[in-house]
Structure 1
């Protein structure tokens, strides 16, 4: 399957080629666009640490995971951040035109979490209950141990947002899954804000964003597991997903690669840990499990389109070094 998993993690090349950072006198700025979850997970802290070290500022544009990919592809920004992978054409298994010409480098691990109003008595939800809620089979909180009140579900608009696509991937193994929801919102930040004010509300977002509001909203356990750092790192919390940095395949600005080397190096990993995000290499054993979920979703999409599924599943196009690391971590 051509162009499946354009993921790059060639660590040694970055460190050998770009070990010397720009001096503090450098006035260059780098521009970044991407999902708010990536920004909350590590990018805000990473940008501050990098500016302190090099003097180079990261100018945040926001815009979501899709813009984080496509604006790098079109050279509108230097770097992107995404919490979903590239979208592929179901029939040809090639990356859609808007998302070609980029490389995704996995740098950290996020988790999808269910958030509700702070006063909601429910403490735990199962993956099966999530499926039933999102397909309209469960509609009242009392059906999952709560009070007698309607479940007012919030979802992201469309099917290609970072949260929407990975939720369909991890919970339904179906990128085309339709959701039955009362509210459809443009951004995850809107969903998060509404959980604070709606006692019957329920939504799913990234753990890094949910932590920002956990004093005024509630994060539910999933199958009895809390989305703690250790549970995400070990895979005990099941709804984990990689966070990627996006760069252009023909990137010529050395400062972009220097920044990526910083993110992937020891200093960058420590910034992530302090921010509560698991660095990619710390949870590298999760990758093959995650890849299996991706493959199932792609296979189901092709099956629904009446296409053969036998050729959907090559291994990832990671570097040989990283593939060996993953195999040894199993």
Structure 2
């Protein structure tokens, strides 16, 4: 009877351990885990390796939960046979039904709530045992992992979108935590969220089409530049290439320089060439790094598609909520 009780307790504890670890895994703060790993914490490094292989972790938890539930079932059968004899039918049938609420509360609900509230602290303490069970259950876990890969190949779908969604939620949580802790000011938080929400857009979504911005010839006078600037309300005007076969501008002129030096030759500034499919943030960083206020957007054939300015690309960052 003592053996049956010991197995019952071990089964419930095991179910609580694996159920709580699963919830803690999805609630884990990856940034804090990476910092602990960089600090030389071996447990944090082991947990970080598991987070980089979600299918392996899920398979380990699945195997562990099944083993724990099997141990609970075995302990229940042993106890009923010892008390009522091996031929008792109804006690053996009713015992699992009576025990199910206990297993649900103490083996599932309570540990999941605890790990939900303190995922990093509890998973850090359970980390050594979790890594040990990962090694012990490796044969069965690897079999399930291979099966999931096989199904993924037949289905033609990968878990990348789900992982990216989790990563976006985690990064959003980092922004919120930094704001609450006073690390990020409201303006810094708004800027970070704007960059985060616009990171997957291309520069083509923000460019001004080529026909919307006027151009001048390289021998144009400052008066011509000022006239066009007043008509189109622009501070920079692209300059046509001297070679008539060229499809892209040779540079741009500033209307301010034309106004300050009406009798001087116009200074043509070089422009930065940007591919239309280039990520929005990358294009903005390239313009800032090169010190170019204006860039030309070209298509796959290297033909002019439109224009972008630093001001034009920076403005949407502060409009995001």
Greater strand percent: which structure?
Answer: 1
Task: Normalising by structure 2, report the TM-score.
Answer: 0.21
Structure of greater Rg: 2
Task: Normalising by structure 1, report the TM-score.
Answer: 0.21
More RCO (CA 8 Å, sep 6+): 1
